Copies of this chain bind each other. A is one copy, B any other.
Amino acid sequence: MNKHVDVLIVGAGASGIGVGIVLKQMGCGNFCVIDKGDIGETFRRWPKEMRFITPSFPSQGFGQTDLNAVAPKTSPAYTLDEEHPTGEEYAEYLEVLADHYQLPLRTKVEVKEIRKHNNQLFEVVTSKGKLCSKFIVWAAGEYQYPDFDVFPGAEHCIHSSQIHSWEEMKADDYLVIGGYESGIDALYQLNRLNKKTRLLAKTATWEIDSSDPSIVISPYTYGRMREALADDRIEMYENLTVSSVRKEGNSYYVETREGEQFTTCTPPVLATGYKGSTSMISQLFEFGEHGKPLVNEQDESTYCQGLFLCGPELRHGSHVFCYIYKFRQRYAVLAEAIGSRLNLNMDILELYQKENFYLDDLSGCGESCEC
């Protein structure tokens, strides 16, 4: 690993690999992608049974890109023959890409600290030594940092991301806190294993009428929920916000703001979200009212020049970029900003625009369906 690089990409997940490919295609000669684990590490840690909720389909030959692809002319559906890949499978797709595009990549390198002194290079302390970089692309993801600060006693719960396989769940009934995608996935998985399950949801996502899949549950999840509901082992409680979990002896007491109490003998399953990896370098960002980092039109930190953010933590106003098909459209925008400052060859952007991998005008985004 060079001690001095032009661009350091932190994270070898969907975003890190995706941005790495654009930079490589722009002829960037001195950059590096690092990850504290392996390529696609977070995906590898998904529960064994978990699958992509966005379907993959190899339709790129006619200009419709696989929703889960991170680079034009590639498709996980083609690589994997799977419509809803598991995390392990998707990591395999990312590995194939890293290899095909010969990305300069170092795994098992952990970032300990990032410093920047007035308009100088970034100084990055890693588990394998120090390095300097002109630009940093923060692509460290969101889904590996369970948030245990959501309410007092959350530490008594088991976070859905800590479950390696639902088969490990040996009790007969469970209580799930959270009604978004991972909450309903938990419900579905537990139901399949014949567990009785109660789910407490702040919002009845399954009743929302919106055409933005970042707000409502996906058709895949919806179908699975319907399937699970057909059995008789499920109770779903809506409009309940958990205020605390108390443990006494072998019992867990779950209190809600609305004054309801639930008791369970197994640690409640926490499906309430993640902290986001920017919490590790929060001194380099300003944070908006939505709790997410503030970035300019090129996804550069409003507080620290040269630091770019990509991946599911990205927000622009009311636009949430939590799906790959959303945030991948910003790789080329960000790469263009870096490329223009490094005088790279940006001809490749034409392909990105043509293949719907470039979204710089957000004014038309998030519009609802007419029908």
Contact = CB atoms under 8 A, between A and B. Distances in A.
Contacts of A211: 58, 60-61, 75, 78
Contact of A371 (B62, B79, B365): B79
A347 interface: no
A359 interface: yes
Q: Oligomeric state, in number of copies?
A: 2
B371 A219 contact: no
Contacts of A323: 59, 62
A222 B82 CA distance: 8
Contacts of A276: none
A160 interface: no
A83 interface: yes
A298 to B, nearest CB: 18
Nearest to A66: B369
Max chain B Cβ within 10 angstroms of own Cβ: one of A61, A218, A325 = A61
Contacts of A100: 370-371
A85 to B, nearest CB: 9
A365 B61 contact: yes
A73 B219 contact: no
A223 interface: yes
A64 interface: yes
Interface string A201-221: 000000000011100001110
Interface string A136-151: 0000000000000000
A137 to B, nearest CB: 21
B81 A222 contact: yes
Contacts of A368: 61
B62 A359 contact: yes
B61 A367 contact: yes
Top 7 closest pairs, chain A to chain B, by CB:
A55-B55, A83-B219, A78-B369, A78-B211, A61-B366, A77-B219, A73-B370
Interface of A: 54-65, 67, 73-75, 77-79, 81-84, 96-97, 100, 211-213, 218-220, 222-223, 323, 325-326, 329, 354, 356, 359, 364-371
29 contacts: A56-B219, A58-B211, A58-B212, A59-B323, A60-B369, A61-B368, A61-B369, A62-B325, A62-B359, A62-B366, A63-B329, A64-B325, A64-B356, A73-B369, A74-B369, A74-B370, A74-B371, A75-B369, A77-B219, A78-B211, A79-B371, A81-B222, A82-B222, A83-B219, A83-B220, A83-B222, A84-B223, A96-B371, A100-B371
